[in-house]
Each structure stands twice: as C-alpha cells, then as structure tokens.
C-alpha cells in the first residue's frame, strides 16, 4: 500500500516535469510566430539597453542650433524642438516603457496566480469573496478606473506600476483558479493530502507548477497591455512625466509639431507597435505550445 501511495505521489508534478517542458519548448521552436515575436522582442531589448551608447549624445543634451533636424548621419532619428537627439531619447524611453511592461506582467502573474490558486483550492466563502472582487473590477470600464486612479495617485513610474498591477491581476487570478478547479481532486493532489502535506505545500508545490502554462501566457499579454496603458496615460499627461522619457510622453511632446516633424510622432509609435506585436505573438506561440490538445508533430 505504501508503494502504491508513493507511486501516486510521484504523479504530483507530472505536468510540470522536465519532459513536459522539453515538449513545450519543442512545440514553441516549431511555431513560426514564435520566431517573429522572439526576434522583435530581443531586438527591442538589445536596442533599449545598448542604443543610448551608440550615439555620442546624452539624454538631455540640448542644441538650439540643431532643432527639428531630419534624420542624418549625425542624428539617426533627427532632433526634437530643443535639439535633443531623438534616437537617444527613444531608446531611453523604451527602457522605461519595457520596464513597466515586464514588471507589471511578472507581478500580475505572481499576485493573481497566488490569489487564484488560493481561491480555487480553499473554495467556500474565500473563493466567493475573491471572485466577487474580480467581477467588480471587471464591471467597471478599465479606462475609467485607470484614469481615476492615476489622477488620485499622481504621475510617476512607481504609481503607474502599482495601479496597473492592481487592475491587471484579475486575469491571472481567473486563469489560475480555473486550472486549480480542473485538477484539485486528481490523484496526485489527493495523494499529497494523504501523505500529510500542508495546505500551503499542496498549493505551492503541487498546484502552482501545474498552473504555470496559462500564467506564462497571461504574463506576456499583460506586459503588452501594460505598455499600451502606460503609453495612453503618459500621452494624456497622467503617466511618466518629463524629464524622464517614455514612449508615451515622447508622443505627447511630438504631437504639437506633428505637421512640422511627423517623424517625431511616427518613430515612437513604431517602437510601441513592435513592442505590442512581439508580446502578442509570443503569447500566441506560448499558448499553442502549452495547449495539451496539440500533437507532438505540430
């Protein structure tokens, strides 16, 4: 009987075993969309890290004799209304915008995932209370909540991250709860209980690893949504404030000169487009790779 119990317990991380993740990695590599998304994401990551060092200008270096210049060998993306190098400012802005996206994406999965696992496993009053909170957040238009909370909290990088995490964790919570409900009565969970595993050990050691698939996909989509939200708030003057550049406030500054220097609007918008596209493509590829209904030969 002990042997049978231990054999059942060995199933506790079957879905999260190295063999499973090798299969996911193989599916991901065979997905053409994954290559496109990975290429643009890694390219953007490289540019925002190394890009500012490719030009001999500082972030706020002003040259009033070189205002509104077109792209040239000296200034690859031209200059703005104060003669500052646009390439350097877009790369620095990308650091801020991508940081917001990545931090929010990871934080929402961590917080929302744990809340969803707790609600799904414990159930009862706690589950009802947490899910009613999620439903309440969903019933209020997201843009309204975003604008109101941003106005109350004030502009700033930290405030924007906190607000976005507070609004976006609900997606991960629902996904994690659904995953837990689907296998909380399976044999490997029951075996862990029989062996005396505590409630937290069952949730963190057995349920969390098996919920990672949908949570990873959620992280990529939430990261893209966070970049879009940060851009919107910064464009409206409620997000990242100058002199700290972000893609959103670069668009705001350039909008006043759109007819004189349209490239100043087009270039930050182009980087925003590629960032959102890369996260969405990675999310699609990961979702397909993690889908258990797909065959190994896809």
pLDDT digits over 118-154, tens only?
A: 888 888 898 899 999 998 888 888 888 888 988 888 8
pLDDT at 2: 39
Residue scoring higher pLDDT (94 or 189)? 94
Round to whole Å and give the CA distance between 270 and 264: 10
Q: Is 241 helix (H, G, I), strand (E, B) or coil?
A: coil
pLDDT at 14: 44
pLDDT at 18: 61
Instruction: Catalogue the long-range contacts made by 234-237 (C-beta closer than 8 Å, 24 or more residues apart).
Output: 236/147, 237/155
Distances (CA, A) of 294 to 25, 28, 222, 284, 291: 13, 11, 24, 14, 6
- What's the residue count for the chain? 298
Distances (CA, A) of 6 to 1, 3, 16, 134, 263: 9, 5, 18, 38, 65
pLDDT at 36: 92
Contact 247, 160 (CB under 8 A): no
Q: Average pLDDT for residues 268-289, to the nearest whole number?
A: 90
Quick one: what percent of the chain has pLDDT higher than 70?
A: 86
Mean pLDDT of all residues in the chain? 83
Q: Average pLDDT for residues 172-191, to the nearest whole number?
A: 80
Round to whole Å and give the CA distance between 104 and 118: 21
Round to whole Å and give the CA distance between 103 and 219: 10
Round to whole Å and give the CA distance between 225 and 280: 9
pLDDT at 50: 94
Q: Which of 196, 172, 187, 195 is nearest to 118 (CA)?
A: 172
How far out from the chain centre does Cα 279 lie? 8
Q: Average pLDDT for residues 182-198, to the nearest whole number?
A: 71
Q: Average pLDDT for residues 286-293, to the nearest whole number?
A: 72
Q: Which of 288, 206, 250 is nearest to 93 (CA)?
A: 250
């Amino acid at each position: 009987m002990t042997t049978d119990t231990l054999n059942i317990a060995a199933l506790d991380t079957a879905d999260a075993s190295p063999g499973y993740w090798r299969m996911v990695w193989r599916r991901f590599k065979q997905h053409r969309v994954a290559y496109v998304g990975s290429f643009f994401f890694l390219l953007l990551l490289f540019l925002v890290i190394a890009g500012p060092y490719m030009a001999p200008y500082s972030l706020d270096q002003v040259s009033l004799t070189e205002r509104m210049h077109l792209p040239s060998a000296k200034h690859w993306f031209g200059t703005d209304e104060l003669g500052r190098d646009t390439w350097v400012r877009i790369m620095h802005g990308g650091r801020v915008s991508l940081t917001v996206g990545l931090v929010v994406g990871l934080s929402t999965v961590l917080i929302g995932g744990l809340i969803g696992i707790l609600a799904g496993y414990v159930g009862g009053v706690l589950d009802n209370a947490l899910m009613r909170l999620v439903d309440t957040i969903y019933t209020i238009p997201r843009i309204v909540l975003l604008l109101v909370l941003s106005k109350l909290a004030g502009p700033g990088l930290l405030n924007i991250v906190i607000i976005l995490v507070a609004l976006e964790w609900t997606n991960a919570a629902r996904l994690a709860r659904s995953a837990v409900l689907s296998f909380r009565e399976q044999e490997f969970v029951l075996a862990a209980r029989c062996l005396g595993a505590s409630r937290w050990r069952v949730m963190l050691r057995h349920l969390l690893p098996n919920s990672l698939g949908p949570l990873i996909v959620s992280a990529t989509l939430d990261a893209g949504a966070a970049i879009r939200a940060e851009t919107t708030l910064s464009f409206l003057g409620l997000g990242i404030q100058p002199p700290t550049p972000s893609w959103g406030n670069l668009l705001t500054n350039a909008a006043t000169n759109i007819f004189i220097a349209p490239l100043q609007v087009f270039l930050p918008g182009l980087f925003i487009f590629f960032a959102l596209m890369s996260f969405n493509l990675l999310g699609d590829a990961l979702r397909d790779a993690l889908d258990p209904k797909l065959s190994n030969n896809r």
